[in-house]
Amino acid sequence: QQQVKQSPQSLIVQKGGISIINCAYENTAFDYFPWYQQFPGKGPALLIAIRPDVSEKKEGRFTISFNKSAKQFSLHIMDSQPGDSATYFCAASWGNTPLVFGKGTRLSVIA
């Protein structure tokens, strides 16, 4: 049973454009929603995270939008750059439980 559904599977964006990745969850106990960036052969690195008490969080070019009623959250990458090309995973957890990951989105930013 997949607890976090992520879309799209892959995404191609022009340099300077906006990349948008969406995730949906079902477990209302989740209270921590991070996004991870992973380059080939490397472990995932935390990009940005949000808790359900806020609807949006921005850090530099990265923004998380959170819709608690819809049980959805999304990652927006503004002014996408070729260096942003990577696989992005959304995740969720609550309490001391391990992170549950989405299936990942392979982002390619082309010049």
Partner 1 sequence: GAVVSQHPSRVICKSGTSVKIECRSLDFQATTMFWYRQFPKQSLMLMATSNEGSKATYEQGVEKDKFLINHASLTLSTLTVTSAHPEDSSFYICSARDRDSISHYGYTFGSGTRLTVV
String marking each residue 31-70 x if it binds partner 1 according to CB under 8 A: xx-x-x----xxxxxx--x-x-------------------
Residue among 25 and 36 whose Cβ is closer to partner 1: 36
How far is it, in rounded angstroms, from Cα 104 to Cα 96? 23
Binding mask 86-105 for partner 1 (x = CB under 8 A): ---x---x--x-xxxxxxx-
Decide: is 1 part of the binding site for partner 1 (CB under 8 A): no
DSSP string computed for 48-84: EEE-TT-SEEEETTEEEEEETTTTEEEEEESS--GGG
SS3 helix, strand, coil % of the chain, rounded to 5? 5, 55, 40
Residues that bind partner 1 (CB under 8 A): 31-32, 34, 36, 41-46, 49, 51, 89, 93, 96, 98-104, 106
